[in-house]
Every structure is written in C-alpha cells, then in structure tokens.
Structure 1
Amino acid sequence: MKNFETKRILVIEDEKHIAEGLKLNLEFQGYDVMIAPDGVSGLDQWKKWKPDLIVLDIMLPGIDGFSVLRNIRLEDERIPILILSAKSDLDDKVKGLSYGVDDYLTKPFNLEELLLRVERLLTRASWSLRDGDTVEAGPSLSAKTYTFGDNKIDFESSVASCRYGEICLTEQEVKLLKLFIGNRGKPLSRNKLLEIGWGYTGNMTTRTVDNFIVRFRKYFEDDPKKPVYFKSLRSVGYIFDHR
C-alpha cells in the first residue's frame, strides 16, 4: 500500500478466525491493526487508540454493533466505519446508514473487495477537513473559518458572508466547500465530487455537482459568468483557485 503515514484500523469482531484473518491481511497491506472482541472493548479502544477507520461487526456480545455505531457517531461524525455482518436484510442496511455508517459488507465477503473498500474509505476521509486541522491561506487560519476575497465562511455556524450579506449554508454546501477549500488548487472531477460528497460510485450523468457550482458562483463570485474561484476545467471537472 502506498502510504507515507501508517493508518490505524480497529476491527471490532467477536469471531476470532475472522478477526485474526482480517488483521493478518490488513497488516500485509501496511496498516496498523487492533482487534476488539466485543462492543465494550471496541468503544474503549476507539477512545484510547484513536484509529483512522473501524471495521465493525453487528452481532456482538454485550453491546451490539448498532449501539457501538451510535455511541461513536455522537462524538465523531467523520471517522470511516465499515459494517461487516452476517445480516443481509435491507432493513439492517438502512438502519446502519441512518446511524451514519459509511459502507456495509455482508458475510461471507470477498477479501479483495473489503481491502478496496477500506482503501477507498481512507482516501475519502483524507479529502475531508478534520476538526482542528489548519488551512493555510497566507496567515495561519483555523479550519473553522476561511476567507477568500471579500468572502468569509464560518463552518461552525454554517454562515457565509459575501457581497449579498450573510447566507445560511446547507449541510451539503458546507461539506462541498470544505472539500474544495481543503483541496484548493487541485482539479476535482465530477465523479470524485459525487463519490466523496454523496457516496455515489461509477460514472454518473447527474447535474447535481454543476448545480452546486452555479450556486457557489452566485454567492462568492463578483461576476458568476467569469469565475475567479470556482473554475471549470473542460473534460475534467472543477477547481477552487485561491492561493
């Protein structure tokens, strides 16, 4: 695995042969792996070890996986969580998604697919701004706010100040703005934006991203027809240009 920083993965799984197999294969990929055999120890290790990703079984002794998931999401909305479960019912998948899980695999699973999903989730997480990170924009600036031109975005209150005055941003607008700002100067394809922003995969023909860009230009550009910040890249996607 091509990674300059070893990522930590917590496997919360009570079936020893599965847990040990995952540990072996994930470590072979270059990850640092810890096993927790039940929900209580899983929550304990999550708080103490601070992993970068969690592989979580649903059918656990004591506290079940859904309870573990809900407890984690009360304190951390960003850590990638992959559910691994023998329960393949649609209701359980919907329940997991409603609690904030990032991906869901049913047993028996394909090892190569699991490794790819883990890598994808970690890559997606690296694109997002984490709480406490610093965004460099000339002077040192907290990631809770970001200023470009006459515009200022307050991520904490979800309010933007621009030439129109103050605008209340939606949750999805804030998410995309963080993505653009965290990757300023880097081309972002529509498919990549859809994957990270909405969880879509594969080639999509939706105009969803384009509609958000139109909105951002109206908010933050002096002339939306001649954008300075949110620029189109033909046959590629978009780029947030602010140095």
Structure 2
Amino acid sequence: MAFLSTTARQTLLGFALGAASAGASAIPLTIPTTYLDAEATYTFDADTASLMYLMGVSVHALGNTQAVKGSDWQFMMPVTQVTLNASILPLGLTPVSGFATGSGLMIQSETGVLTLANFGLDFKRNVLTADLGTSAGISKAFDVYSFTVDQGLHVSTSGGLSMAMNLSHMTLTSGAQAQFATALQLDELAVSVLPMLNFGTLDVNISPALRFGVSDKSLVAAIPEPPRFATLGLGLLGLAFVARRRLS
C-alpha cells in the first residue's frame, strides 16, 4: 500500500510539473488498472429490469464480468485502463476514457440474443461503447448507450490514488435500438418503448489495493445463436413441412 501511495503521488507530481512547463494545456495520463482494485458496477434500472423480465429478456455475465450475488440485474466489471487529462492551470484531473476489456454481457430474449463485450467509456461524447455481437457478425466499439455524468470524477491521494464517479440515465443510441430490436426479435410495442427506457447506472470505483486473476485480453464473444427452444421450434416446423410433403 505504501509503495502504491508513493508511486501514485510521484506520478501525479510528474504530470503536474509537465503540465506546468506546457502552460495551461492538459496532458493525457493513462493508468493501467488491471492489477488494481478497479471496478465498474452496472445496475439495471428497476423499472426497466421488471419490463425486460415480463418480456422474457434476461442478462448473463461473460468473461471478467461477475453477477452480484442475490441480483439478476447487477454486474461487476473490472476496469482495466483509465485515461485522464492532468492540468495545473487550473489544477485538476478530468476523465477522458475508461475500458473494461475482457468483460461482457449476453442479453437474451425468447427468440433472439446479442452480446456486448470489451466496454469503453468515451467522456468526450458521453457514450458507452462495446463490441456488439449478433447473428450478423461483430461490430467493434459500437455506440451502445448515451449517459449522464451524475457525479463527476472524485480523486483522492490520501492512502494512495483512488477515484470514483457515477454515471446515470443510460439510454440506447439510435443505432443500438435498431440492433436490439432486430437481434432480440422484439415486437412493435417493445420497439416503440426502447428509446424511452433508462437502462440504469454505472458506478466506477478505483482504489490502490492490489488484485489478481483479471485478464486484460479482449473478450472474443461467440456470435450468438438462436436460443435452444427457438431452434427446436424451427426444427419442429421443418419436420412438419417434410411430413406434409410425404403425405401429399
């Protein structure tokens, strides 16, 4: 802990001096956090979760992601890298981007499925990106959610470098709405509701404590196949068609 605290302070001091020599311009500071206790907690909005449940839609953890015990709608995703802008005039750190490489979610309906993997946060546009996988293929760094910064970046160097922030009101981008509608084979009513849904909050917390066992390799989520019961239904339809041809 003492080593991490000293290192964090030296890093911040070095960038502060660099910022001073460069005038008031900000300098990007990239911090690998694979081996730090850095977590993003994604919590689905309760009303949206209830609606998804009624529609037969479920969410499952992939890769580094872990479902929070006792909840079907809350997930922990290890943060693997953050980039900040460090400035001295005025003194401060502002978020630029963050990544949860290796984490993923599978969203499944009764008739369709899609995957989201290798999440990224773009604070210039306030957009969450992910590799979006459907039966049509994988779209890298796809804009999935727009979000609001509910609580801005809070930085503390007492006891080591720690950071926290909260993002809220996560809504599907227009492109993601189309992908969700097609991949999950939603009906017209569900499609009309998608733009109005709040998909929840994302709480980011980074502390100087060490952690192990987290992979920072990109998650290659397999292209989703139709759910088994949907596939079975298609198979039964095929058998019925063959039987009718034989009888005719």
What band does the TM-score fall into relative to the shorter chain? under 0.3
Of Structure 1 and Structure 2, the greater strand share is in 2
Structure number with greater Rg is 2
Higher relative contact order by CA 8 Å / sep ≥ 6: 1 or 2? 2
TM-score (norm 2): 0.22
